Structure 1
Amino acid sequence: MEKIRMLSTLGLMGAMRSLSSAFEAATGIHVDADFAPTLALLRRLRAGEAADLVILTREGLDEVIGEGRVIADSAADLARSYVGLAVRAGQPHPDISSEAALRKALLAARSVAYSRLGASGVYFAQLIVRMGIGTEINAKATIVEQGFTAERLVRGEADLAVQQISELKQVGGIEVIGPVPHELQTPAVFSAGRMTDAKQAKAADRLLRYLASPEVMPVLRRSGLEP
C-alpha cells in the first residue's frame, strides 16, 4: 500500500483521524501521521526530519516555505481555530464572556493549565501579560510541555485548561466552556503544504486537494474547527 508521511499540528488531530481513514478507504493511500505542537514540528523539520506533507499554523508554514522546505504553490489554508477554556466534567462553568469576566475566572482558579510550545500557549502567555495578571497566573500555572492541557483537568492538577478548542475536544471527561472573547484573540489558521523533498509527491498533492475540498467541512466543524 502506498504511504504518505504527514507531520501535523495537534489542532488537527481529531479531524485528521477521521479524514485520513476516509482518504485511505477512497484511494488506498495510507496516511502515516505524527502529531505535535507547531513549534516542536518546526524544530524537527529544521533538524532534517523527512515528511511528504505538513500541517502547521499559517505562520509556521510560511517560515518553512521561506526556508525552502515546503513548496509555496502547494500551500492551502484548511481551517481556523479559536482558543478556549475547559473544566473537568461536572464542574461549574465560570463566566468568560468578557475580558473582566475572564480575568475574574482566571484569578479564581487554583491552577490554569496551558501549553508551552503550542500556538495557544504562546498566545495565552501574551494575553495574561496584556491583561496585567501574568505574574499571578504564572505563579500557579500548570505548564504542559507537549500534549493536551485538558488532561490535567482529568488528573485534578488544574481547574481550567486553555488550548485550541479543537484540542480541548479531544480529551474525554472534560467540558469546553467556550472561546476566549473574540475581541481578545485572532483565530489560528492551520495550513498544509507539500515538502520540497517529498518522496510521495503525487499522493501528497492528492491528499492536499482532499483536505481543501468542501466534503471535509462537516468533519472539521465537529472537531471544533471553522473551515
Structure 2
Amino acid sequence: MNTLKILSGGAAQGLVGSLALDFKAQTGFEIAGEFGAVGIMADRLRKGTPSDLVILTAALLARLAEEKLIVAATIADIGLVETALAVRTGDPQANVKDADDLRRTLLESDAIFVPDTKASTAGIHVANVLQQLGIADEVADRLRIFPNGATAMRELAASKAQRPIGCTQSTEIISTAAVTLSGALPPGCELATTYTAGVAAAAAHPQQARDLIALLTGAGQQQQRRRAGFVSGH
C-alpha cells in the first residue's frame, strides 16, 4: 500500500482527515499521520522519524527549513487557528468577553483540560495566560494536562467533574465528539496561530506531499478549512 507519512500539529488533524478520501482518489495514497504537540513533532523530525510532509506553526516550520529538514520552496500557509474555550456538549456555554470574565470562568471551573503546557502551542499559551491573569497557583491543582489538544478534549468529554472547561485550538475542539466550541479567548488573552505545510527534505514521496499541500491550501477547500476551524486561508 502506498502511504504518505505526515508529522503534524494536532490543529490540522481534523482537516487532514477530512481530505484523506479525496487525496486517495487523486493519488492512490493513504495518509499515515502522527499528530501532537508541535514541539514534539518537530523533535521527531529532527531525530529522523520518516516523514514526507510536515504541518506545524509557521515559525517552527521556518526554523526547520533553516535546519535543512524542510524544503523551503514548498512551504505554504494553510490558515490561522484560534485558541479557544470548550465545554462538554450540553453544559452552559462559557460567556467570556474580556480578561475578567475569563479569570472568573477559570476560577469557577473545577477541572481545566489543556494540552502539554511545555511543547504545544495552545498549552504554552494557556500557561502564560494563567500567569497573566494572576491565577496560575490558584488553579494549578485543577489543571488536567494531556500530550495534545485532541486527547485533552476527549478527556473533557468524558469528565465527571461538575464544571469542567477546556482550552486548546479551535480545530481540535471542533473535531472532537461531545465537546462544544465556546468562543475564542478574549482580547488581551487571544492567540491566533498560522499553520503551514512543507515537504520534508528526506521525503520518500515528495510529489505526493506537494499534492497534499495543494489540496490543503487550495481555493476549493476554503469551506472545508472553515468547517475544520481555520479562520482564514487562501
Does structure 1 retain, via aligned residues, the 8 Å contact 2:85–2:94? no
Q: Which residue pairs with 1:118 in the alignment?
A: 120
CA distance in 2, matches of 1:219, 1:34: 21
Q: Which residue pairs with 1:151 in the alignment?
A: 154
Using structure 2 for the length normalisation, give the TM-score: 0.91
Q: Kindly provide the CA deviation profile for residues 112-141 of structure 1, in whole angstroms up to 9, marking residues without a partner as x.
A: 111113210011101111111111122321
Superposition pairs of residues 91-170 of structure 1, within 5 angstroms:
91-116=91-116, 117-146=119-148, 147-156=150-159, 159-170=164-175
Q: Kindly provide the CA deviation profile for residues 53-108 of structure 1, in whole angstroms up to 9, marking residues without a partner as x.
A: 10011122122112110011111110110011111121112321111111100011
Q: Aligned with 1:93: secondary structure?
A: coil
Paired letter, 2:153: A
Does structure 2 retain, via aligned residues, the 8 Å contact 1:165–1:176? yes
Identity across the alignment (%): 25
Paired letter, 2:106: L
Deviation at 1:157, TM superposition (A): 5.2
CA distance in 2, matches of 1:206, 1:154: 35
Q: Which residue pairs with 1:216 in the alignment?
A: 221
Number of residue pairs aligned between Structure 1 and Structure 2: 227
Q: Kindly provide the CA deviation profile for residues 197-216 of structure 1, in whole angstroms up to 9, marking residues without a partner as x.
A: 11111221222222221011
Paired letter, 1:70: I
Q: Kindly provide the CA deviation profile for residues 7-59 of structure 1, in whole angstroms up to 9, marking residues without a partner as x.
A: 11111111111112112112323322222221110121121111111001112
Unmatched runs of 5 consecutive residues or more in structure 2: none
Q: For structure 1, which segment, 92-101 or 72-81, has the greater mean C-alpha deviation from structure 2 after superposition? A: 92-101
CA distance in 2, matches of 1:102, 1:74: 39
Q: Which residue pairs with 1:3 in the alignment?
A: 3
Does structure 1 retain, via aligned residues, the 8 Å contact 2:36–2:147? no
CA distance in 1, matches of 2:142, 2:4: 42
CA distance in 2, matches of 1:187, 1:66: 24
Unmatched runs of 5 consecutive residues or more in structure 1: none
Q: Which residue pairs with 2:68 in the alignment?
A: 68
CA distance in 2, matches of 1:44, 1:104: 38
Does structure 1 retain, via aligned residues, the 8 Å contact 2:3–2:29? yes
Does structure 1 retain, via aligned residues, the 8 Å contact 2:125–2:191? no
Q: Aligned with 2:6: secondary structure?
A: strand
1:194 matches 2:199: yes
* Aligned mate of 2:176, from 167, 171, 179: 171
Assess, with a 3 A threshold, how the Cα gap between structure 1 residues 89 and 20 changes in structure 2: closer, same or farther: same
Using structure 1 for the length normalisation, give the TM-score: 0.94
Does structure 1 retain, via aligned residues, the 8 Å contact 2:88–2:157? yes
Deviation at 1:3, TM superposition (A): 3.0
Paired letter, 2:110: R
Deviation at 1:164, TM superposition (A): 0.2
Q: Kindly provide the CA deviation profile for residues 143-186 of structure 1, in whole angstroms up to 9, marking residues without a partner as x.
A: 11234322222222550011001101122112211110144223
Paired letter, 2:130: I
Paired letter, 1:85: L
